[in-house]
Structure 1
Amino acid sequence: MTQVKGVAQTCLMNAFFFGYGSLVNTATHSYAGQFPATAHGWQRAWRCVAGRKATFLTVIEAPGMSIDGLVAEVPGRDWRALDAREASYDRLDARHCIGSGALTDVRELAIYAIPPDTFAPPSAESPILLSYIDVVMQGYLKVFGRSGAEMFVETTTGWNTPILDDRRTPVYPRHQRLSAIESSFVDGVLREVGADILDVTQPC
C-alpha cells in the first residue's frame, strides 16, 4: 500500500483542497495528509476584492500554465472552517487539473478562486500585506525550497500592486515569525520585481 506523507492511496476517497498561497504554510492550519502537487491551467494573481482593505492571492484560468502547491485532506468532508477562511472565494472542482501520483479515486478536490466579477483594481488603498507575503513565501521555502519559492514569484502576476510593510506590526491574522534568512530572501525577491513598498505609517 503506497503511502504519501502518511496517507494511504486506498484512503483517498475523502475531500481534499489544493492550496497555492498561505495554505502552503502548514503553520497556518492543521489539515493533515499533505503532499505537493501541481495545478494545470491556472496562474496565481494578486487581486483585490471590492470592499476589502487588502489584496490577496487568487488563481485565474491560464491555459498552458501550471503552478505548484500543497494538497491536504479535509476531515470528514467538512468544508465549513475552510470555506469561512476563504470567505471571499468560490470553491471550485479541481479534480481535472491537479497532477499528482498520490491522487487516485478522489471524491472531492477543490481549489479556491476569487470570482472575477468581484475584482477591484489594485491601489494604495488596498495593498498587499507584507505579513501575508511572508507567510506564503515561508511556506514555499519549506515545501519547495529556494527554487520553488523563486518559481512562485515568476508564476504570479500583479506585483505592481503596492505592498504595505507591516512586518513589525503584522495585520495578517495568521502571520508567522520568519528567520533572518527567510526575511532576507523575501526582501530580495521584492527588490527584484521592483515592488512599491509602503511604510506602515503611510495612509492606506
Structure 2
Amino acid sequence: MRKWREMFKVSQVEVSRNMSVSPSVISDYEKGRRTPGSFFIKRFVESLLSIDENRGWTIVKKLAKSMHIHLDSIEDMCEFEEPISVSELIELVRGKLLTTSDFGKIIYGYTVLDSIKTILSLTGNEFYQIMGMTSERALIFTRVSAGRSPMVAVRTSPLKPAAVVLHGPRKVDELAIRLAELEKIPLILSMHRTVRDVIRSLRIICERT
C-alpha cells in the first residue's frame, strides 16, 4: 500500500481524508499492524485514482505511457459497481436506439473517447488495448460526423464493447448501423447538446453506484 501511495505522490493525510479514516489507520496497514480486506483495498485504490483525477490524471497518464497506452483520446471513464441495462444507458445519454435490438446486453461501465483524437493519434494496437479495457462496457464516441469510422474500428477489433454511443451527428451513416447489427452491438445516438452534458449524465450513475 505504501509503495502505491508513494507512486501516486499522495500523503497519508490526503488518502485518509479521501477515505474518511484517520491517518493512523493508513499507517497501521502500511506497517503491517493490520491486514486489509478486499473492500478496504478497493477503497484505497479508488481514493488514489480519485486524487489523481483531481490532479489531471498525471500519474495514470505516466503509467499508461509506460505501457504504450495514450490516454489523450479518453475524455472520461468509469466502472459501475452494479451493472445497468441498455435502456438505462439510453435514458442517461438521452439516446435513440438505432439497431433493431439491444441484444440483451448489460453495461458494466463506460469509456468516453474523442473520435477525432482516437483516429488521428492511436495506432491499431493502442486502440485494441482500449477496447480490451472496454469489454462489457459502453464505448462512447464524441465529435462524430457520421459514425462510420468508429464502427469500422469496432468491427475490426477482436474485442468488442457491450454498446456503442455516438454523439455529434444529426444522422448516422447506414453502414455504421449495419455493422452494429452484424456485431450484435446496440448502437445509440445521443441527443445531448454538448459532450459535457453527456459526461455529466453518465457521472450521475457512476457516483450513484
Q: Which has the larger radius of gyration?
A: 2
Higher RCO (CA < 8 A, seq sep 6+): 1
TM over 0.5: no
Q: Which structure has greater helix proportion? A: 2
TM-score (norm: length of structure 1):
0.26
Q: Which structure has greater strand proportion? A: 1
TM-score (norm: length of structure 2):
0.25
